[in-house]
């Protein structure tokens, strides 16, 4: 069953929230199995108490009925020192809504890319796609021979949900799973809601998974070993904003700087001396459990069925 549509999730201790968008279909009155104790001022809470709060935050997220999300991501890649030096700037904006209990969703994904080298001169290329999920189908449009757009539909799958951005929120939650350290920074309002601002130090396994899900231009990178290499991982900052009363995730900011060797990205034949990556990400979650219905736009009801191969190949 596609991840967006799964109705049963593993227990929190076993869930690394890798199964993207595999939220449970519990009601908005869901109560976690263990509620954290927060009788003390936040600056006096112990590490274990913060671990409990973050665990409940993830548990609530996995049981949301519905929510809306917006994510802006930029990834800059520079491959230097070889005969084919190149640099790439990739910017992605995903905005959407998910109704998990009704198995419905809508996502808009904008991507812009600039590349210099390997035959590219830095001209910006842009791509945009608006998609809808209903009844195990993904609906979107494709250009037709008359210059217009035709609605098509393809069966949902894990891979397609990733391509169209339906995995974005849970993908970026990866470092919250069993973090190595949590530091309380301050209390700040997000959308007029008081939030704990927490600096998260992920455990190495979840950090490696997070990096492997980002589009760096090098799909074969050995992230499991890379995250343990202090010469490679120059900087990583993950800040999470957790609502004080509801424990919902409201906002998340991530920055990272990585310098990789050709061996780590498995491109030794290209002659590169190093590959530098810079990540910047900001995610907002809102309208948690606000009742909603995702309706198909005009024309989508007569969408033409296609094979998913048109997006996967």
pLDDT digit string (tens) for the chain, length 313 residues: 334 333 223 333 223 222 222 323 333 456 666 666 656 788 889 999 999 999 999 999 989 999 999 999 999 999 887 677 889 999 999 999 999 888 899 999 899 999 888 778 889 999 888 899 998 999 998 888 888 889 999 999 888 887 887 888 888 888 999 999 999 999 999 999 999 999 999 999 999 999 988 877 777 888 988 999 989 999 999 999 999 988 999 999 999 999 998 888 887 767 788 889 999 999 999 999 998 889 999 999 999 999 988 888 7
Tell me the three state secondary structure of residue 177: coil
Tell me the three state secondary structure of residue 115: strand
Cα 58 to Cα 61: distance, rounded to the nearest angstrom: 5
Tell me the three state secondary structure of residue 33: coil
- Give the H or E element holding residue 311: helix 309-312
- Residue 17's domain comprises 3-312
Q: How many structural domains comprise the chain?
A: 1
At 42, which CATH number? 2.50.20.20
Cα 301 to Cα 199: distance, rounded to the nearest angstrom: 45
Cα 2 to Cα 134: distance, rounded to the nearest angstrom: 12
Contact (Cβ atoms closer than 8 angstroms) between residue 292 and residue 99: yes
Contact (Cβ atoms closer than 8 angstroms) between residue 111 and residue 127: yes
Per-residue model confidence (pLDDT) at position 32: 63
Per-residue model confidence (pLDDT) at position 31: 65
Per-residue model confidence (pLDDT) at position 17: 26
């Amino acid at each position: 069953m596609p991840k967006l549509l799964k109705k049963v999730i593993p227990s929190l201790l076993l869930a690394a929230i890798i199964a993207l968008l595999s939220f449970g279909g519990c009601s908005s009155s869901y109560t976690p199995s263990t509620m954290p104790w927060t009788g003390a001022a936040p600056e006096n809470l112990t590490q274990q108490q913060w671990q409990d709060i973050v665990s409940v935050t993830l548990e609530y997220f996995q049981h949301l009925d519905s929510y809306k999300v917006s994510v802006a991501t930029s990834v800059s890649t520079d491959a230097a020192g070889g005969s084919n030096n190149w640099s790439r700037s990739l910017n992605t904006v995903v905005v959407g809504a998910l109704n998990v209990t009704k198995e419905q969703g809508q996502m808009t994904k904008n991507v812009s890319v600039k590349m210099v080298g390997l035959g590219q001169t830095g001209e910006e290329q842009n791509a945009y796609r608006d998609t809808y999920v209903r009844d195990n189908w993904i609906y979107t449009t494709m250009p037709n021979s008359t210059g217009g757009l035709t609605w098509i539909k393809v069966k949902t799958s894990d891979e397609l949900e990733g391509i169209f951005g339906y995995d974005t929120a849970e993908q970026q939650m990866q470092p919250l799973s069993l973090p190595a350290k949590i530091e309380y920074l301050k209390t700040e309002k997000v959308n007029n809601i008081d939030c704990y601002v927490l600096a998260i130090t992920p455990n190495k396994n979840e950090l490696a998974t997070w990096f492997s899900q980002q589009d760096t231009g090098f799909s074969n990178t050995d992230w499991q070993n890379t995250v343990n290499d202090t010469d490679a991982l120059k900087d990583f900052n993950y800040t999470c904003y957790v609502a004080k009363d509801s424990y919902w995730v409201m906002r998340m900011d991530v920055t990272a700087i990585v310098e990789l060797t050709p061996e780590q990205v498995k491109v030794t034949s290209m002659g590169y001396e190093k590959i530098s990556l810079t990540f910047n990400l900001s995610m907002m979650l809102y309208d948690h459990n606000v009742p909603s219905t995702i309706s198909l736009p005009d024309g989508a009801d007569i969408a033409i069925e296609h094979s998913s191969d048109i997006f996967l190949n």
